[in-house]
Chain A
Amino acid sequence: LAKTTQPISMDSYEGQEVNITCSHNNIATNDYITWYQQFPSQGPRFIIQGYKTKVTNEVASLFIPADRKSSTLSLPRVSLSDTAVYYCLVGDKGIFGNEKLTFGTGTRLTIIP
């Protein structure tokens, strides 16, 4: 399983674009990169997933360089409600779909009014 490294915490002001970078130097060929958001006392919520280049959905963008050893989650124009812990996970579903999901420390993002 590829190990991930993220900043422990980040602060940003409302309305700014926030970029959270995750390092995963030993990512395997079949691994996907997935980001989750977690609010206190709630289960993680899927944000975005990608394999290479750039992926964009209605809430975020995910940038993955060609070597795939890192990835950056970009949150446009954050608001106070984006204050949460963000987790980067790297892995594959596995041959039988049972490869386990292991969480790293995550990044605690605090949005300042």
Chain B
Amino acid sequence: GAVVSQHPSWVICKSGTSVKIECRSLDFQATTMFWYRQFPKQSLMLMATSNEGSKATYEQGVEKDKFLINHASLTLSTLTVTSAHPEDSSFYICSAREAESTEAFFGQGTRLTVV
């Protein structure tokens, strides 16, 4: 299957700082990318959907000014957690899909710990 690379795999940051997570599609053009967060023992919760070159569509309850998503190219999307707080600690996962494909592929996830 197609490869989606997410970086970093884990990050620890201080409260109040910002963290950027990258999601890259390595062998296909990702016209749509999805960002999820997942708490222990829970399912993936969709945060936002982004299309290349346009603004992301955020799910209800997700603060767009806190979770900045940029999808500037067909192979790269970034999620920036601004002014991170301990309650933002979670597992963040991205997914990417090609325009004419019904299949979506996931990155390996990023474990964010805010101390």
Contact = CB atoms under 8 A, between A and B. Distances in A.
Interface of A: 32, 34, 36, 41-46, 49, 87, 92-93, 96-98, 100-106
Interface residues of B, number: 32
Interface string B61-93: 000000000000000000000000000000101
A45 B44 CA distance: 13
B6 interface: yes
A93 B46 contact: no
- The interface residues of chain B, by DSSP majority, are classed as strand
Nearest to A100: B49
Contacts of B43: 87, 103-106
B91 A101 contact: no
Contacts of A97: 31-32, 51, 97-101
A93 B103 CA distance: 8
Contact of A96 (B51, B93, B104): B51
A98 B102 CA distance: 10
The 4 closest A-B pairs by CB, nearest first: A43-B106, A97-B99, A103-B44, A98-B32
